[in-house]
Amino acid sequence: MADEETTDKEKTPMPLPVLAMMLCTFCIGTAESVIAGILPAIATDVGVSLTAVGMLISVYAVAVVLLGPLVTAVTVRLRRRVLMPCMMGVFVLGNALAALAPGFGWLVAGRVVSALVHSTLIAAFVAAARDMAPEERRAAWGAKVTLGIGLSSVAGVPAGTLIGEAFGWRATFWALAGLSLVAGVMLTRCALPDPVPTQAAGAGAERTREIPWPMLLVALVIVLGTGGVFALYTYASPYLTQSAGFGSRAVTFLLLLYGAGGILGNTIGGRVADRSPRAAVLVTLGTATAGLLLLGLPVGGQGAAVVLFCLLGAAYFATIPALNTQIVNAAGSASPTMALTINNSAFCVGIALGSWLGGLLLAHGHGLPSVALAGAGLTAGAALLATVPIRRGLTPRRGPSRPAAPVSSVRSG
């Protein structure tokens, strides 16, 4: 009877709340990256340099990293049915402010308002999806939510760029605000689960200020792994045209192929992570390292470059559900939402690290293949760190020690 119920759950179609949260992450992922597609139009209209407009991406990332954990700590006690729609309202406001911005300063303000809720929303979405899922499919359901971010790179950013080219860059932000409003309204019609109480909650609520070192170790793995991939991905266009020899028209197709590989990897990675997140992390980081090494040599001609580029996207996105699971398992007394917020901030730091490293190498006269090799070094370092066993609840505490929780109650993967 129990086996039949488990089978029925696995065949159950995606619930409306998960679909709504996926649409929300699609909007958030698009908003984060679409600036790259409408950057020249903004520079011309607002009257600033391309470099200044490019800072909008950096400002957004910095705001996500610095403000995300603070916002999560302040809002961690709110019910999700209140928290999620209200924060999507703030996100809509940020995009509307950017669309109405009379000058560059207001545009920056709009981006900061949107970034304010970025980490907390994604963390709350993944945590809610995991809480709604059958125990054996938590990583897979969390991956369905983060799939929206992969879809944003395949469809959201190109669509936002086309809208900006056809109707002006402000129309891109209006479209984001409108779609985000629809997603937020969908959330208000969903039965969203409240956080599952943890053992730490009995000691005066969830200790959001304590960050166990195992969680920091997972965050460092995320920073290095993401940094390695984005060292090359940031400069994918010049790499594909100058090093791999593709024409400029082929770049868009190859970027879409990278995103398609990411969608496939995210889906498969979620299923594998439910069985063994640690093994999934090691395999995917090892695959990314091998792909970057081969792209950095480079060997095999254009056909190999196409396969490797797609494989790199699949490997990177496949790490996300596994790392989500690992950081929640390593959270100890910290809340799952806080753990996933730090997880998302670590991804943003990794993106910034990879972009900086690639730019530094190019500025010092190194070729684009060397950027891929440097990226391979970072992902290899991440894979090496990932071999360190991650156990839950290792935060040092003051006072008398307490009996450890039964091993059967801790899922270490």
Lowest mean pLDDT among 95-99, 136-140, 392-396: 392-396
C-alpha to C-alpha distance for 203 and 333, rounded to whole angstroms: 10
C-alpha to C-alpha distance for 358 and 230, rounded to whole angstroms: 8
Whether residue 239 lies inside any domain: the answer is yes
Pair 154, 229 in one domain: no
Pair 76, 128 in one domain: yes
The candidate with the shortest Cα–Cα distance to 314, out of 250, 257, 379, is 257
Q: Which residue range forms the structural domain that includes residue 277?
A: 213-392
Which of residues 194, 229, 250 is at a domain's end? Answer: 194
| Confidence at 133, pLDDT banded by 50, 70, 90 | confident
CA 259 and chain centroid, separation: 13
Which of residues 136, 165, 194 is at a domain's end? Answer: 194
Whole-number pLDDT of residue 138:
78
C-alpha to C-alpha distance for 210 and 187, rounded to whole angstroms: 30
Alpha helices in 236-276 (DSSP H): 236-238, 248-275
365: left (phi over 0), alpha (psi -120 to 50) or beta: left
**CATH number for the domain that contains residue 240:** 1.20.1250.20
C-alpha to C-alpha distance for 151 and 147, rounded to whole angstroms: 6
Alpha-carbon dihedral 69, 74, 78, 82, rounded to 10 degrees: -80
Answer yes or no: is pLDDT of 147 > 70.
yes
Q: What is the SS3 assignment for 352-381? A: HHHHHHHHHHHHCCCCHHHHHHHHHHHHHH
| Confidence at 14, pLDDT banded by 50, 70, 90 | low
Number of domains in the chain: 2
Pair 150, 233 in one domain: no
Whether residue 406 lies inside any domain: the answer is no
* Mean pLDDT value across the chain: 81
Pair 247, 304 in one domain: yes
Pair 245, 383 in one domain: yes
DSSP 184-211: HHHHHTS-PPPPPP-GGGGGTS--TT--
The candidate with the shortest Cα–Cα distance to 28, out of 177, 140, 223, is 177
Pair 175, 228 in one domain: no
Pair 369, 234 in one domain: yes
Whether residue 399 lies inside any domain: the answer is no
| Confidence at 409, pLDDT banded by 50, 70, 90 | very low
Whole-number pLDDT of residue 1:
43
Whether residue 49 lies inside any domain: the answer is yes
pTM for this one?
0.73
Which of residues 194, 225, 248 is at a domain's end? Answer: 194
More confidently predicted of 14 and 70: 70
Alpha helices in 234-247 (DSSP H): 236-238
DSSP reduced 3-state for 107: helix
| Confidence at 226, pLDDT banded by 50, 70, 90 | very high
Pair 233, 309 in one domain: yes
More confidently predicted of 103 and 36: 103
| Confidence at 345, pLDDT banded by 50, 70, 90 | confident
Alpha-carbon dihedral 173, 179, 185, 187, rounded to 10 degrees: -110
C-alpha to C-alpha distance for 116 and 107, rounded to whole angstroms: 14
Whether residue 208 lies inside any domain: the answer is no
Please compute Rg for the chain using Cα positions: 21
Pair 153, 271 in one domain: no
Whether residue 7 lies inside any domain: the answer is no
DSSP 132-167: HS-GGGHHHHHHHHHHHHHHIIIIIHHHHHHHHHHH
C-alpha to C-alpha distance for 254 and 321, rounded to whole angstroms: 24
**Total residues found in the chain within this entry:** 413
Contact between 293 and 376 (Cβ < 8 Å): yes
The candidate with the shortest Cα–Cα distance to 232, out of 349, 346, 364, 368, is 368
- pLDDT tens-place string over residues 35-77: 877 878 888 888 887 767 777 877 888 888 888 888 888 887 8
Answer yes or no: is pLDDT of 166 > 80.
yes
Pair 229, 155 in one domain: no
Whether residue 304 lies inside any domain: the answer is yes
More confidently predicted of 157 and 111: 111
Pair 45, 188 in one domain: yes
Pair 161, 237 in one domain: no
